[in-house]
Every structure is written in C-alpha cells, then in structure tokens.
A and B are shown apart, each in its own frame.
Chain A
Amino acid sequence: EVQLVESGGGLVQPGGSLRLSCAASGFTFDNSAMSWVRQAPGMGLEWVSTITDSGGSTYYADSVKGRFTISRDSSKNTLYLQMNSLRAEDTAVYYCAKLLNYWGQGTLVTVSS
C-alpha cells in the first residue's frame, strides 16, 4: 500500500521557519520525482516545488523561490521542505505528492502572530 505521511506543520510567527517532512512507502521512492503542493484555506491548489528522482535538480514557484528549499533523503525514503522567512500568505495545507499518482493527506501550516 502506498503511503505518503506529512509531518512538521504547525503555528509559526511571520519571519519564522519550519521544516516539513514526508515519509514515503509502498513505491520506489528512489525512482520518483517528488513535489510539494499547497492549498490556502478556501482556495485552489498551488504547485510549490519539485525535486527530481536523483535530487540533482530542484524547481520552485516564484512565490517561494529563495525562501523554501526542497530536499530528499533516499536512505530514509523521506522528502523535506525547509521553509524560511514565512509570511501570512504561506498559510496553507501542504501536500507531499508523486504528482500524477500519489498524494499525502497534508499538513497545515499557519503563519500568524
């Protein structure tokens, strides 16, 4: 059974940092490009970032470029999203996904003072 389990969300003050994790199982993580997608409350889906299967290339939405860093640890089958300089507009549910196949249930990040 495929599972993507996100963790690390929570309440953080503007300007703060948070690291999200996504534990993957049930498929070949090493061969899979992985992504983060977010959804602000009551809004649509927004692609945030993708990392290639090797980890050699990373891509970001303009809205997070320079503040967020995606990474992966194949020895742990885990995807990460380091989020720095957080803003109120980063408040959203963050989904980990093998985009065209599997999605996690999401973790809520709230940026507020």
Chain B
Amino acid sequence: KNEVEQSPQNLTAQEGEFITINCSYSVGISALHWLQQHPGGGIVSLFMLSSGKKKHGRLIATINIQEKHSSLHITASHPRDSAVYICAVSIIQGAQKLVFGQGTRLTINP
C-alpha cells in the first residue's frame, strides 16, 4: 500500500463545476504539499500546509492531521485548470524529502 493515496485517479467535469480531490497518508508528516503539473512536465507548487485551511483564488486546500487526510477544492472550474494534481508529504521536518501520491488527472470540458 502506498504511503500517500489520492482519489480519484481521473476526473472529468464540466466548466463551472466544483472539484474535490482527496489525499490520504499513512505516515507522520511535517507538511503536505499540493502540486500542479501541466503537459510538458513543469510542476508548480499550489499549497504547502501543516494544519487548517489555505485559499488562493479559486483554490482551497484543507488538512485534517488527526484523520491524515487533505482535500484540494477548485471552485468555478475552468478548462485551464486541466492538469495533473499531485499530493506530496514531507516526512522529515525542514527537509525536502517528499513522498508523492500517484496524481489525479483533471479534465475540465468547456
């Protein structure tokens, strides 16, 4: 069993829909990261959080440390949000040794 599990693996939705991607982890962590990867490979860090909730534009990330679970929400989804979203955890305080989920491929149709 992977230490970081994401669901769903694939998600197709219509423009404007509210999107939720889930991440569960089984190890102790110092932080959780949500990353976005577009075709071509480049990865962008969306959020780094260790508790509570963070919001940036139409993106919201939450984490429940007791339940070892995080969610990434996208409100008013747009075709440009189509990408692979990756959950990753830092397992050592202050270090960048990340353990990754398998990613969620999101497609938003116009």
Q: Tell me, yes or no, whether A binds B.
A: no
Residues of B within 8 A of A (CB): none
Residues of A within 8 A of B (CB): none
